[in-house]
Amino acid sequence: MKFIAFPLLAAAASMSTMLLAAEQIDKDTLFEMRTYYAPEGKIDELHQRFRDHTLKYFEKHGIKSIAYFVPEGRNPERKLIYFLAFPDRAARDRAWKAFFADPAWKEAAKQSEKNGKIVAKVEQVFLEATDYSPMPKIEAKGPRVFELRTYTTPEGKLNDLHARFRDHTMKLFSKHGMENLIYWVKTPGQEGVDTTLIYLLAHKDRNAGRKSFDSFRNDPDWLKAKSESEKDGSLTVPNGVKSEILVPTDYSPLK
């Protein structure tokens, strides 16, 4: 398995990460998933800005860093995927407004872009935990890899999918060596709010995750639960299951 190498954290950033590592996520937390795409040749500069500046100013303005990931392997899209947490949407909006208005951040951003923009595109999704989701501690337990999975259901089937995860899937994942970290739905007002489940698993490594899913899919208890839950049709649309194996950056609180 190939991991992406990053320089060591500065002492201040390391201390910030250590403090965050002991925190427990609250059940009513609002999560923001952000995906940044860097221009060609700029991903290392983007990481450097997060490592040296961004996390520090996030913390200053009440933006809680949860995890920072890159896809395992080559990362041809030069993606950075990260998760933030807030008490609610109003707190989120206030925090971001203060962050962008901070003169020190403005100067850091300006200096980081003196040789050109380091972010080409930004995507964001607002998430809340399902009623059956565990609430993991933000801790560095690595080395391990993470799997971000997104399910899209037919209209009217999301609650059935939740029931299957709540009653069967999660405990079978645990049985086969997968760690259930958190399960999310989109918050109201976003596309796919009634048809999308997003969740995060942890594996020892990519090969261990593959073996776990192979054994899970052949488990008689899973085959029975799947069959009974799909008497009226599949709970996912064609090609409605997306999976991405992620590795944490060196500055990610969750590892």
Question: Residue 119: what pLDDT?
Answer: 98
pTM, 2 dp: 0.89
CA distance 188 to 30: 12
CA distance 233 to 227: 9
Question: Residue 228: what pLDDT?
Answer: 98
Question: Residue 21: what pLDDT?
Answer: 40
Question: Residue 24: what pLDDT?
Answer: 66
For 104, the 3-state DSSP assignment is helix
Contact 63, 50 (CB under 8 A): no
Contact 81, 65 (CB under 8 A): no
CA distance 118 to 146: 25
> Hey, how many other C-beta atoms are within 10 angstroms of the C-beta on 102?
15
**Per-residue pLDDT in tens (0 to 9) along the chain, 255 residues:** 333 333 333 333 343 433 334 466 778 899 999 999 999 999 999 999 999 999 999 999 999 999 999 999 999 999 999 999 999 999 999 999 999 999 999 999 999 999 999 999 999 999 999 999 999 889 999 899 999 999 999 999 999 999 999 999 999 999 999 999 999 999 999 999 999 999 999 999 999 999 999 999 999 999 999 999 999 999 999 999 999 999 999 999 999
Structure token pair of residue 31 = 């999560």
Question: Residue 129: what pLDDT?
Answer: 97
Question: Residue 26: what pLDDT?
Answer: 78
